[in-house]
Structure 1
């Protein structure tokens, strides 16, 4: 039986993890995040497609590609979560379970970070748990896929 595909998408500046503001985002790199996700995927018996881009249009295109291809999406939209209605529209259009992840607790940060458009498409939001949030998000999507399967 084919393992469900969960696409893990990462937005702008996440390629700078480990270098950028380690007091907020920690010392882990994006490669560390990918390894954590691969380990979680193995444990959950799912396949992942892990990607990062700094481009809004590319992120929107990747979301659109998920329709008919993937069973769910884990997304850390980074700053695009706070600004991109295009990303929201794409997530709504694919009609898949979506979990939004933020490594920091966006509600303890600047006021402009308290709202995300992506949250309107997400079934759940995980924030403030560092890279562990990704593993929790993958578990949540895997559970949703199983519940709906």
Structure 2
């Protein structure tokens, strides 16, 4: 099974950025652990701070992969373009968020992506990605 994790803006700073919200582990360290634990999956990872690059990646993998785990970060709440890309592809997408977005600022309570995804996992820290991965099993 071929799965890709796509992370949006500022998630490259995990482990350094707001550890009280996001924890102390870098995403690269977490990703390596995930690859070892789920070694029967063909697991890829992509991160960009640029909205258009995220759309390009969704279009690139959205017809050939078995699943996409997408944390669009702040673009979740602002990007109609990413939402349209998710709607246009055939690969199922699971929307994930590390923090409980409903316990944060009001603008984070709305997702443009949610109506177009297979499911949503919010607020379980980095475990959110693993739960999303398990949903494809």
Fold-level similarity (TM above 0.5) = yes
Match of 1:16 among 13, 16, 20: 13
Matched, 1:27 2:60: no
Runs of 4+ in 1 over 3 A off after TM superposition: none
Q: Displacement, 1:121? A: 1.3
- Equivalent positions of 1:1-149 (< 5 A) are 4-42=1-39, 45-140=40-135, 142-143=136-137
In 1, Cα distance between the equivalents of 2:4 and 2:86? 12
User: What does residue 146 of structure 1 align with?
Assistant: none
| TM-score between the two structures when normalised by the length of structure 1 | 0.87
In 2, Cα distance between the equivalents of 1:8 and 1:41? 13
Q: What is the aligned length? A: 137
Cα RMSD between the aligned structures? 1.1
